Structure 1
Amino acid sequence: MLSPEEFRQTYPNGELLNELPNSPVSSLRDIQYLYGTLFTLATTGGGPYAPYLTPDAAGDLIDEPDSLIVVRVDVSGTAPEFASDSKGPVWVTKYTDALVPKVAHCKYPAARGIDHSITHQAGKNSDPEKLARYAKERLSKWASNSVVQEAAAEHDDGWIIDSLAELGEDETALEQLGDDVQASLSGSTTALLTVQIKVDTDGPYQWPGDLDVTMAAMRSRKLSKLVSKGEASNSTGEATDLITGAQTRTVGTAQDPLNYFLGKQLEKFPGFDPDEAWRTHPISEDAAITLMNAEPFIDACSYRTFGARVYYLPYFFGNPTVEDTYRLYELLYDTLEEDDEKSGLTPIETAYQFREDVPLDENSLRFYVSAIMPHQMSRFDVFGETMNGRIQYPASVATAHRDMLRTAAFKSGVDRTAALPTHEKWPLLSGDDFLGLVASGSYFYQTFPTGDDDTDASADDPRIKALVAVLSGDPLPVSSLLDSYVDRIIDDSGDDDHGFPVFRVASQYAQLCALASAPHTFLEATGTQQPVAEPPTYDSRTMPDITEPIADGGFAGAEKLESFIKDTPALASNDERCASFLLGALVGAVGNYQEHKHNRSTTLVDQFPVQAVTSNRIKKVTESAIEKTITYTRQEKKGDASYPGTKFDYIVDRLRRRVINPDPDDWELDTADLRFYYALGLTYGMNDRPQTSNSETEQPNTATN
């Protein structure tokens, strides 16, 4: 394949412009056609037969010993015969780059059957006997094929193929050919088998790529598979090509690199007749082949996650210009090379790096985005689809997430811990580069429920839907996001070995804030949930330093809590949600106190898990938590008469005001909303402590679930 520099040199402005579509890119088919055109130009060059060749199919045989077996036939005389010159009827040589266009290989991607071209690719390490059979079949099977014979009948030089077929009927000659092939080989090998033909008495032996008749026959064989594939026996007719707009012969069952339009998917098209597919999905013969050639680039611009394949196909909006096409080819080439090297980067990361290295009009560079889930043989479901994806979408979420971890919500001050904990072993709570996590789907794997299968998505899996939404710039409903968060929290809370999942909740909240803070609108909400979609205003600095002595959190704890609520729109604008958060904060603080001060194995956090909290139970849980707080305050005063106030009074006072008015029985807050912010409060309370003490009792819950 040509490097980007070689591509520019081989196809200067005017010449490349002649190869490009003269219409804007407006559909997936347009993208595939453009990709196929670029791949063809970069591998086989121009010409009417270039799209039909598959030069990369045997690319691993280049410069390998005994990788090309050539049967040499002389048809210039009165009867066809095998060559009798110094090279003889069989020539075993090395397949080289220079021979690629001459051999003109066209692979038939099937486990059995001969290739479309007279050149055939043998299996890996085929033994001499099998290679001898393949050599004989170049004449006895390929030349006599009905489609090849039809093409020969319509071609002025069809007699050449007829001569090959005639020789293929000579059993004695074929037997001798087989012996010659085996005698020419020293053992098993992987090779291409082809035929050189002498047409004129005084002329040279010519390769298949030198003869129009062999190329025309190859083209006919490949096209025949487009009209009789699957359930279709003859899906072809005169129609307007949906890609080029030309009135021409079209086929209806063209191979699709994304498996979107399959004759077997009858349940998707009730009453569909595959033979009539050319009427509803007409693609010209040459365009259909070009689409197939797009596969290497399309595969390189895709990756697997949750059992689905995500496609992220770049293109430039509008009519392709020469300069944009050069840059697109460079991006596709780089992505393909990255894919070949198994670098582990997603196509999104490759595109982002390319964007940093090469100046691009970011408003012009777009991406087709979709995710396709295979269910069984030739059955696929599509999760979301857009032509308007942009690299800025996932990149902006990654940047917003990084910036959120640098705010006071996650960075501790000198005297007090941060509102929420971080941990170097948690992917969403440490580091600076989150683009790979966003692009790969791990971003939502860390925060959403895993379902029945830990890795593979189901048909309605929210993880894959969320991933496609972020890649394509579509907003996520806050309600479904909170539902997913709470389901995961409840799943994790059932793990008795690790306790309440504080780091999971902190990861979820960092993600929620990132989606709300990114420049693009990634969240949508209505009614009471609208503030949840608003970005918080946490200071990028840490909590202010407090130097005066503070008993049990005192002023520093109160200021930190007040600041967190004020800077969180979801809490500042809704007393019900704030009350749920404060209740969680109190339960978390008391539970932490019980565990570390009194060495209790079962705490208030265990007594009031997330799944047990509803608006009907809020008042009861609040009363229990405050009562427990007062009990511990009395115990502290017995041991120290000078102990001031009430334990955790900076939480208790705020909680009382919000739970009493309005009465929780009249709350309108959604249950998932209430539970998530209760869980956030638990995480806050369990992480809230002075920084001045290094005692074991002051350490946070370090569960890693």
Structure 2
Amino acid sequence: MLEPRAFRKKYPPEQLEAELPERPISSLRDIQHLYGRLYTLATAGGGDYAAYLTPDQAKDLIGAEESLIAVRVDLTGSQPALDAQQPVDVTQYTEGHVQNVAHCKYNAARGIDHSVTHRSGRNSDPEKLARYACERLTKWATDDVVQSVADDHPDGDVVRGLATVGEDEDALDRIRAAVQTELGGSTTALLTVQVRREADGEYEWPGEIPVFNEAMRARKLSKLVSKGQATNSAGEATDLVSGERTRTVGTAEDPLNYFLGKQMEKFPGLDPDEAWRIHPISEDGAVTLMNAEAFVDACTHRTFNADVYYLPYFLGRPTPGETYKLYTVLYKMAQADDPNPIQEFYDRFDGDADKKGGRLRFYVAAVMKHQMSRFDVYGETLNGSLYYPTEVARQHDQVTGSWVFDEDAAVNADHTPPLPSTTEWPLTDPSDPNTTVRQMVASGEYLFRTFPFIDDDTDATVDDERIDVHVSILSGEPVPRQQLVSAYVQRLLDRDGDGVPELLVTSQFAQLCALENAGLVTTARTGTESTLIDGPDYHAMQPDSARTDGGTVALDRTEKLESFIDQTDGLDDPERRGAFLLGALVGQVGTFQRSYHDRSTTVIDQYPIKAMTKTKVKRITQQVIDKDVVYSREFAKRSDSNINSTMYKEITNGIVKAMAESDPDQWEISTDDLRFYYALGVTYGMNNTTTDDENSDADADESNETNE
């Protein structure tokens, strides 16, 4: 395959322009056809038969000793015969032989290649290679398709001459003896023929004789009309790719196996022989699609127990300049030992990552490969973009870099941020490079860290929400908020034990905020009336409150809570706010129980996320408030305490206010919403620590002022 610089030199802009599609790219088939065309140009070059050749299938043999074995047939006498002096020539396969041997591989375990040139198995012994050499005359030359071409071709006598020699057992014995004599042992080789047609002429290779090329083409095409249960799926129709009226085939292969006669359950009532009417691809177009395999496979990665394809293309008709860029990235991916398509695309197309309206797009699909010939597609879009992962990562970085996550951004360094973060959890870490989060968004890892797990040995399914949401994010399609929250809660409930996974909750919340701020979350599912949700824009924590006497009341803990609630859009709803505050009180009281009473079982364990329902809210709220009152009285008796009121009064006051706005018995909030914000509240409460007692002092001041 040509390196990008060599490709550009061989195909200057004006020449490449003529090779590009005349119509805008508008379908997966168009993308595959472009990839196949580029691959053909880079390997077999141009010409009528180039798309049918598979030179890369033998590139590993170039330069190897005894890697090309040619049976030499002389057609200049009265009867076709082997060359009298050298019936078999064993030599080294070189770059100069690539076009001449005109090799066309047939991927069948027990079949012969489409071309007269055939590749042997790895390290075949001389006896087996001798058999393959004979089959160039006895099997390929007598093939029905090859004979049919010979009957109608002016050079048909060449093929018939090979078959005639193949009927001579003495000639076959000479071939066997020559191969075993010439070879030094087992080897991997291409086996072909050379033919002399003029008495004083040179021996010609298959690529130099038109009938061999035409027979090779016919053999390959014959497999495109009789695949699976089809016997002759071909007819006159309009080609899906070119738009021209031509002979088309209906069971053409392609690298994703999207349309096969064997997949009748996917197309109820499909008659495989009539498939050309539903999915017409021209003969040459079908072969070009097959040639896209190397590039298509290179642009895939494994996630969600499925293969996710990420195929770049440019909207409209690609220009030569865009095509050079596209070929460069496809070449690099195809040559990489461990390809990372997502990162390569960002490195190569970095300038397009910040352009919402750029021409660069990606076809994205999650595919489950059940068998070699049966794939299922679980999610796809033609509108994938580098912009959306970049924007989500930027918004995520802003959220985790705010005072809500980063203590360096908080007004008062004596307090922890509302939510915990650590470098071990990238989705919570404000210092994590933006490109890392972008990589996670684009690859699917972003959702893998927050959505429910599926066992490694469980195949992806059509209702896998990770795939659905992943494809939506890549294409900029808003996701229903409830779908996200339900997935988050399911992940929380799937954990072993009743403990609260603080960093997981924090990761989910940061992700929800980032997706909202990127304009990718909606209030309802597609098809119903919905609006995009504006996420939180966290600015600095509110400043200290002014007192009537001109001083200030340093209610930092209270202000932290008020600031978080005011700046978190989801908590505008009194039901969600009530669930969050209840969780915050549980987290705060539970932390107190563990810290001051050394209890192994706390209210956090007593009221786990999975047990939280609307019918239990009032009862649990009263029980936790009662415990807060009891612990406040006990703690007030300590010599080092100056508490004259409830320890977590800022939370209990908020709960009372929220439940006054909306009676829990009348709540319409979903159970998933309730549990998510309850879990967020518990996380907040568990992380709500101070390094001094200023909030206790404030409680005392407030109590004294009230008593006065």
Q: What TM-score, normalized by structure 1, do the two folds share?
A: 0.92
Post-superposition offset of 1:356: 2.5
Q: Is the 8 A contact 2:416 2:688 kept in 1?
A: yes
1:349 aligns with 2:343: yes
- Candidates 87, 90, 109, aligned match of 1:89: 87
Q: Is the 8 A contact 2:130 2:180 kept in 1?
A: yes
Q: Whole-Å Cα distance in 2 between the matches of residues 204 and 479 of structure 1?
A: 76
Q: Is the 8 A contact 1:418 1:543 kept in 2?
A: no
Q: Whole-Å Cα distance in 2 between the matches of residues 5 and 383 of structure 1?
A: 38
> Who is 1:557 aligned against?
557
Q: Whole-Å Cα distance in 2 between the matches of residues 358 and 578 of structure 1?
A: 40
Which range moved further: 422-431 or 389-398? 422-431
Post-superposition offset of 1:30: 1.1
- Does the residue aligned with 1:596 lie in a helix, a strand or coil? helix
- Does the residue aligned with 2:55 lie in a helix, a strand or coil? coil
> Who is 1:591 aligned against?
590
Q: Whole-Å Cα distance in 2 between the matches of residues 535 and 627 of structure 1?
A: 35
Which range moved further: 281-290 or 59-68? 59-68
> Who is 1:117 aligned against?
115
> Who is 1:368 aligned against?
363
1:352–1:12 distance in 2 versus 1, CA, 3 Å: same
Q: Deviations over 1:338-384 (max 9, x none)?
A: xx3214x2x22211110127999761111112212234563332222
Q: Whole-Å Cα distance in 1 between the matches of residues 461 and 84 of structure 2?
A: 64
Q: What TM-score, normalized by structure 2, do the two folds share?
A: 0.91
Q: Whole-Å Cα distance in 1 between the matches of residues 181 and 160 of structure 2?
A: 28
- Candidates 214, 218, 222, aligned match of 1:224: 222
**Which amino acid in structure 1 is aligned with residue 491 of structure 2?**
R
Post-superposition offset of 1:48: 0.3
Q: Deviations over 1:288-326 (max 9, x none)?
A: 111111111111112221221212111111122222222
Post-superposition offset of 1:659: 1.7
1:488 aligns with 2:483: no
Q: Is the 8 A contact 2:71 2:89 kept in 1?
A: yes
Post-superposition offset of 1:104: 1.0
Q: Is the 8 A contact 2:305 2:456 kept in 1?
A: no
> Who is 2:44 aligned against?
44
- Does the residue aligned with 1:579 lie in a helix, a strand or coil? helix
- Does the residue aligned with 1:380 lie in a helix, a strand or coil? strand
- Candidates 441, 453, 464, aligned match of 2:444: 441
Q: Deviations over 1:81-134 (max 9, x none)?
A: 22234xx22222222222111111100011110000111111111111111111
- Does the residue aligned with 2:256 lie in a helix, a strand or coil? coil
Q: Is the 8 A contact 1:423 1:429 kept in 2?
A: yes
Cα RMSD, aligned residues only: 2.2
1:419 aligns with 2:422: no
**Which amino acid in structure 1 is aligned with residue 350 of structure 2?**
E
> Who is 2:658 aligned against?
658
Q: Is the 8 A contact 1:532 1:569 kept in 2?
A: no
Q: Whole-Å Cα distance in 2 between the matches of residues 242 and 467 of structure 1?
A: 29
- Does the residue aligned with 1:227 lie in a helix, a strand or coil? coil
The within-5 A match list for 1:664-679 is 664-679=664-679
Q: Deviations over 1:654-681 (max 9, x none)?
A: 1111123321111111111111001000
The within-5 A match list for 1:255-404 is 255-337=253-335, 340-343=336-339, 345=340, 347-356=341-350, 363-376=358-371, 378-404=373-399
**Which amino acid in structure 1 is aligned with residue 36 of structure 2?**
G
- Does the residue aligned with 1:388 lie in a helix, a strand or coil? strand
1:526–1:122 distance in 2 versus 1, CA, 3 Å: closer
- Does the residue aligned with 1:616 lie in a helix, a strand or coil? helix
Q: Whole-Å Cα distance in 1 between the matches of residues 353 and 537 of structure 2?
A: 33
Post-superposition offset of 1:531: 9.6
Q: Kindly tell me the number of residue pairs found equivalent between the two proteins.
A: 673
The within-5 A match list for 1:511-530 is 511-518=511-518, 521-526=519-524
**Which amino acid in structure 1 is aligned with residue 346 of structure 2?**
Y
> Who is 1:703 aligned against?
none
Q: Is the 8 A contact 1:383 1:468 kept in 2?
A: no
Post-superposition offset of 1:80: 1.8
Q: Whole-Å Cα distance in 2 between the matches of residues 358 and 400 of structure 1?
A: 18
Q: Whole-Å Cα distance in 1 between the matches of residues 650 and 353 of structure 2?
A: 53
> Who is 1:71 aligned against?
71
> Who is 2:549 aligned against?
none
- Does the residue aligned with 2:375 lie in a helix, a strand or coil? strand
Q: Whole-Å Cα distance in 2 between the matches of residues 545 and 199 of structure 1?
A: 100
Q: Whole-Å Cα distance in 2 between the matches of residues 357 and 363 of structure 1?
A: 10
**Which amino acid in structure 1 is aligned with residue 305 of structure 2?**
G
Q: Is the 8 A contact 1:408 1:543 kept in 2?
A: no
The within-5 A match list for 1:426-505 is 426-430=425-429, 431-432=432-433, 433-451=436-454, 453=456, 456-492=459-495, 494-495=496-497, 499-505=499-505
> Who is 1:233 aligned against?
231
- Does the residue aligned with 1:118 lie in a helix, a strand or coil? coil
Q: Whole-Å Cα distance in 2 between the matches of residues 89 and 358 of structure 1?
A: 60
Post-superposition offset of 1:691: 4.4
**Which amino acid in structure 2 is aligned with residue 44 of structure 1?**
A
1:653–1:531 distance in 2 versus 1, CA, 3 Å: farther
Post-superposition offset of 1:226: 0.5
**Which amino acid in structure 1 is aligned with residue 2 of structure 2?**
L
Q: Whole-Å Cα distance in 1 between the matches of residues 256 and 638 of structure 2?
A: 73
Q: Is the 8 A contact 1:66 1:92 kept in 2?
A: yes
Which range moved further: 452-461 or 229-238? 452-461
Q: Is the 8 A contact 1:32 1:294 kept in 2?
A: yes
- Does the residue aligned with 2:192 lie in a helix, a strand or coil? strand
**Which amino acid in structure 1 is aligned with residue 451 of structure 2?**
F
Q: Is the 8 A contact 1:306 1:455 kept in 2?
A: no
Q: Whole-Å Cα distance in 2 between the matches of residues 284 and 462 of structure 1?
A: 37
Q: Whole-Å Cα distance in 1 between the matches of residues 300 and 491 of structure 2?
A: 28
Q: Is the 8 A contact 1:478 1:532 kept in 2?
A: no
Q: Whole-Å Cα distance in 2 between the matches of residues 215 and 325 of structure 1?
A: 29
- Does the residue aligned with 1:319 lie in a helix, a strand or coil? coil
Q: Is the 8 A contact 1:107 1:120 kept in 2?
A: yes
1:409–1:229 distance in 2 versus 1, CA, 3 Å: same
- Does the residue aligned with 1:46 lie in a helix, a strand or coil? coil
> Who is 2:143 aligned against?
145
Q: Whole-Å Cα distance in 1 between the matches of residues 685 and 517 of structure 2?
A: 24
- Does the residue aligned with 2:383 lie in a helix, a strand or coil? strand
1:320–1:440 distance in 2 versus 1, CA, 3 Å: closer
> Who is 1:690 aligned against?
690
Q: Whole-Å Cα distance in 1 between the matches of residues 596 and 460 of structure 2?
A: 44
> Who is 2:699 aligned against?
none
Q: Which runs of 5+ in 2 are unaligned?
A: 546-552, 694-708
> Who is 2:706 aligned against?
none
Q: Is the 8 A contact 2:480 2:524 kept in 1?
A: no
Q: Deviations over 1:5-48 (max 9, x none)?
A: 22221112222222122111111111111111111111111100
- Does the residue aligned with 1:689 lie in a helix, a strand or coil? coil
1:669–1:196 distance in 2 versus 1, CA, 3 Å: same
Q: Deviations over 1:434-453 (max 9, x none)?
A: 12322332211211111455
The within-5 A match list for 1:637-656 is 637-640=636-639, 642-656=642-656
Q: Deviations over 1:628-668 (max 9, x none)?
A: 11111111112236334211112111111112332111111
> Who is 1:103 aligned against?
101
**Which amino acid in structure 2 is aligned with residue 479 of structure 1?**
Q
- Candidates 171, 185, 188, aligned match of 2:186: 188
Post-superposition offset of 1:270: 2.0
